[in-house]
Amino acid sequence: MDKTIVIEIFSTGASPQKYRIFETGEVHIGRSYHNDCVLMDPFVSAEHCVLRKKENGWVLTDLNSENGIYSRKHKIVISEVFIESGDEVIIGRTHLRFVSPEQAVAPARPLAVKNKVHKRLGRAVNAWSLILLTILFYAFGTHLESYENLSVKKLMAFSCWQVVCVLIWASVWAFVGRLIKSRPQFWAQISVTCLFWLVVLPAEYMVNVAGYLSTLFWVHWTVFAIVVSMLFTALLTRNLSFATNLSRRKQVKISLTISLVVMVVSTVSYIAFQDEFNPNPSYYAKLQTPFFKIRKSKTIDVFIQDGEEIFKKSSQKAQQAF
């Protein structure tokens, strides 16, 4: 009869996970130093419990401790519990998991993720293509928003600032990846960041349209917060996946937390720095250039003529005020 058992020890604090191997048929657990398994937990008694080998498993018995034994299987505090491989108990604030040496473990995770999308994003040709597409995309956006016909050089100059931001952001994450995984994956970081900005431009356009049609600030800001938070969370998740070894769940949690913090700070800053009177106010929504149609509707000329009604109503209200 094999008497070997592995006890996995991890507390609720920041202490690292530990493993202890015992080859005797009886293991005393407690805070006192004469125990076989010593736990530095102030909520554990000096002689808390004893683990004894039985034919088909182990039996954990409480030794009149202060806080007893909480069985994760039975969901109660119990004086004696039968232990099988993989069972967990809590004594004090320390979690114990009892494992047989024959316990199967999950297969090793590969250091290099075999993902076709990741490989394509990491190619220099694809990264340069996305950079060029970002320049053209933002040059087109600048052309639509400008009040004059800008030259191609000026449009490209405005777009190059966006590319500089992309390079700085990607370089920071590549440096983090070099420190943690010894693999910077610079081109992959550039590709992901460019994709983010390529999606942000049409998303911003649609958000402004929603704000203009609703004429309500809270509608515009809510849609903006949801869309930008989702996109920024997706960007950070990909940055973390390339630069760190964190699990997907932790990547999403960290990214979502950062996105929420950024949105809260932005909202508070907007409210705090609002002027009582601003001769040049920054409107929360604006009329976008109708450069494509989703469905059959009015022509651009009719659209402009209808827009003149806005100024007529404003003039009438101004005259009535005087």
The torsion angles phi and psi of 120, rounded to 5 degrees, stand at: -65, -40
- Per residue in 186-211, pLDDT (tens digit) is 898 899 999 998 888 888 888 877 77
Q: Please tell me the predicted confidence (pLDDT) of residue 290.
A: 57
Long-range contacts of range 73-77, CB-CB < 8 Å, 24 or more positions apart? none
Q: How confident is the model at residue 246 (pLDDT cuts 50, 70, 90)?
A: confident
Helix (H, G, I), strand (E, B) or coil at 147: coil
d(CA 231, CA 310): 34
Q: Please tell me the predicted confidence (pLDDT) of residue 113.
A: 56
Helices and strands of the chain, counted as H and E runs: 7, 11
Q: What mean pLDDT do residues 273-298 have?
A: 58
Q: Please tell me the predicted confidence (pLDDT) of residue 80.
A: 92
The whole model's pTM is what?
A: 0.54
d(CA 66, CA 304): 80
- Per residue in 288-313, pLDDT (tens digit) is 555 555 556 666 677 667 666 666 76
Helix (H, G, I), strand (E, B) or coil at 121: helix
User: Is 60 exceeded by the pLDDT of residue 120?
Assistant: yes
Query: Higher confidence at residue 99 or residue 269?
Result: 99
How much of the chain, in percent, has pLDDT values that exceed 70?
81
Nearest CA-CA partner of 48 in 63, 70, 37: 63
Ranking 8-17, 96-105, 256-265, 284-293 by mean pLDDT, the lowest is 284-293
| CB 60 within 8 Å of CB 83 | yes
User: Is 80 exceeded by the pLDDT of residue 320?
Assistant: no
β-pair type (76-78, 80-83) = unpaired
Query: Higher confidence at residue 123 or residue 314?
Result: 123
Q: What mean pLDDT do residues 247-270 have?
A: 86
β-pair type (5-11, 18-22) = antiparallel
| CB 72 within 8 Å of CB 88 | yes
Give domain limits for the chain. Answer: 5-99, 116-272
- Per residue in 56-73, pLDDT (tens digit) is 889 999 999 999 999 988
Q: Tokens 């008497």 correspond to what residue?
A: 3
DSSP 8-state assignment for residue 73 = T
Cα 281–Cα 287–Cα 288 angle in degrees, nearest 5: 125
d(CA 56, CA 41): 30
Q: Please tell me the predicted confidence (pLDDT) of residue 52.
A: 92
What is the amino acid identity at position 136? Answer: L
| CB 66 within 8 Å of CB 57 | no
* Residue 78, H or E segment: strand 76-78
Q: Tokens 């034994």 correspond to what residue?
A: 69
User: Is 80 exceeded by the pLDDT of residue 126?
Assistant: yes
CATH number of the structural domain 5-99: 2.60.200.20
Give the chain's mean pLDDT: 81
Q: Please tell me the predicted confidence (pLDDT) of residue 298.
A: 63
Q: Please tell me the predicted confidence (pLDDT) of residue 208.
A: 79
The number of beta carbons lying within 10 Å of the beta carbon of residue 155 is 20
